[in-house]
Protein backbone atom coordinates (compact mmCIF):
# COMPACT_ATOMS: atom_id res chain seq x y z
CA UNK A 1 0.00 0.00 0.00
CA UNK A 2 1.31 3.40 -0.94
CA UNK A 3 0.86 6.21 1.60
CA UNK A 4 -0.11 9.74 0.67
CA UNK A 5 2.25 12.66 1.24
CA UNK A 6 -0.72 15.06 1.51
CA UNK A 7 -1.53 16.55 4.88
CA UNK A 8 -4.93 17.95 5.82
CA UNK A 9 -5.15 21.69 6.40
CA UNK A 10 -7.58 23.18 8.87
CA UNK A 11 -8.67 26.65 7.71
CA UNK A 12 -11.08 29.06 9.28
CA UNK A 13 -12.59 31.41 6.75
CA UNK A 14 -13.92 34.70 8.02
CA UNK A 15 -15.40 37.64 6.13
CA UNK A 16 -13.74 40.16 8.41
CA UNK A 17 -10.39 41.49 7.31
CA UNK A 18 -8.15 42.15 10.30
CA UNK A 19 -7.26 45.80 10.68
CA UNK A 20 -3.59 46.51 10.83
CA UNK A 21 -1.85 49.70 11.74
CA UNK A 22 -2.26 52.26 8.98
CA UNK A 23 0.78 53.89 7.49
CA UNK A 24 1.46 57.35 8.87
CA UNK A 25 1.99 60.13 6.33
CA UNK A 26 2.98 63.64 7.30
CA UNK A 27 1.02 66.46 5.66
CA UNK A 28 2.84 69.80 5.52
CA UNK A 29 -0.53 71.62 5.59
CA UNK A 30 -0.75 70.70 9.28
CA UNK A 31 2.10 73.07 10.13
CA UNK A 32 -0.12 76.16 10.24
CA UNK A 33 -3.04 74.52 12.07
CA UNK A 34 -4.00 75.39 15.65
CA UNK A 35 -2.67 72.93 18.20
CA UNK A 36 -0.33 71.08 15.85
CA UNK A 37 2.90 72.39 17.38
CA UNK A 38 1.69 71.56 20.88
CA UNK A 39 0.77 68.02 19.81
CA UNK A 40 4.18 67.55 18.22
CA UNK A 41 6.01 68.83 21.30
CA UNK A 42 3.96 66.66 23.66
CA UNK A 43 4.76 63.58 21.57
CA UNK A 44 8.46 64.42 21.49
CA UNK A 45 8.78 65.06 25.24
CA UNK A 46 6.46 62.27 26.41
CA UNK A 47 7.80 60.31 29.41
CA UNK A 48 8.90 56.77 28.70
CA UNK A 49 8.39 53.77 30.99
CA UNK A 50 12.08 53.13 31.49
CA UNK A 51 12.89 56.84 31.72
CA UNK A 52 15.29 56.58 28.79
CA UNK A 53 14.44 58.64 25.72
CA UNK A 54 15.28 56.73 22.56
CA UNK A 55 14.95 58.45 19.21
CA UNK A 56 12.70 55.71 17.83
CA UNK A 57 10.37 56.06 20.82
CA UNK A 58 10.37 59.85 20.48
CA UNK A 59 9.41 59.66 16.81
CA UNK A 60 6.73 57.09 17.62
CA UNK A 61 5.40 59.41 20.34
CA UNK A 62 5.18 62.22 17.78
CA UNK A 63 3.29 59.99 15.37
CA UNK A 64 0.76 59.01 18.03
CA UNK A 65 0.32 62.60 19.28
CA UNK A 66 -0.17 63.94 15.74
CA UNK A 67 -2.64 61.14 14.95
CA UNK A 68 -4.66 61.99 18.08
CA UNK A 69 -4.54 65.71 17.20
CA UNK A 70 -5.69 65.01 13.66
CA UNK A 71 -8.53 62.78 14.83
CA UNK A 72 -9.72 65.40 17.34
CA UNK A 73 -9.41 68.40 15.01
CA UNK A 74 -10.08 67.00 11.53
CA UNK A 75 -8.45 70.03 9.84
CA UNK A 76 -9.61 68.93 6.38
CA UNK A 77 -12.77 67.02 7.30
CA UNK A 78 -15.98 66.84 5.30
CA UNK A 79 -17.44 69.85 7.11
CA UNK A 80 -14.44 72.03 6.30
CA UNK A 81 -14.45 70.96 2.64
CA UNK A 82 -18.20 71.66 2.36
CA UNK A 83 -17.70 75.08 3.96
CA UNK A 84 -14.90 75.96 1.53
CA UNK A 85 -16.92 74.75 -1.48
CA UNK A 86 -19.85 76.92 -0.41
CA UNK A 87 -17.54 79.92 -0.05
CA UNK A 88 -16.08 79.23 -3.51
CA UNK A 89 -19.55 79.05 -5.10
CA UNK A 90 -20.51 82.31 -3.40
CA UNK A 91 -17.32 83.98 -4.66
CA UNK A 92 -17.92 82.76 -8.22
CA UNK A 93 -21.48 84.11 -8.13
CA UNK A 94 -20.23 87.49 -6.93
CA UNK A 95 -17.47 87.69 -9.56
CA UNK A 96 -19.63 86.56 -12.49
CA UNK A 97 -22.50 88.77 -11.35
CA UNK A 98 -20.25 91.83 -11.53
CA UNK A 99 -19.00 90.95 -15.02
CA UNK A 100 -22.54 90.72 -16.35
CA UNK A 101 -23.49 94.14 -15.03
CA UNK A 102 -20.83 95.92 -17.12
Q: Is residue 38 part of a domain?
A: yes
Task: Answer whether 66's CB lies under 8 Å from 73's CB.
Answer: no
- How do residues 53-85 score in pLDDT, each as one tens digit? 788 889 999 999 999 998 888 766 788 888 989
Find the domain containing 73 and state its range. 28-91
Instruction: Give the pLDDT of residue 79.
Output: 82
* pTM attached to this predicted model: 0.54
Q: Is residue 62 part of a domain?
A: yes
Q: Is residue 52 part of a domain?
A: yes
Q: Which H or E run includes 20?
A: none
- How do residues 18-53 score in pLDDT, each as one tens digit? 677 778 888 898 898 899 999 999 999 887 777 677
Q: How many domains does the chain have?
A: 1
DSSP string computed for 32-97: GSTTHHHHHHHHHSPPPTTS---HHHHHHHHHHHHHHHHHHH-TT-HHHHHHHHHHHHHHHHHHHH
Amino acid sequence: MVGSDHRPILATIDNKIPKGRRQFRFDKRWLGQDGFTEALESGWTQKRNDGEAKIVDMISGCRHAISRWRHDNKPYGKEKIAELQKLLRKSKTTIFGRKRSF
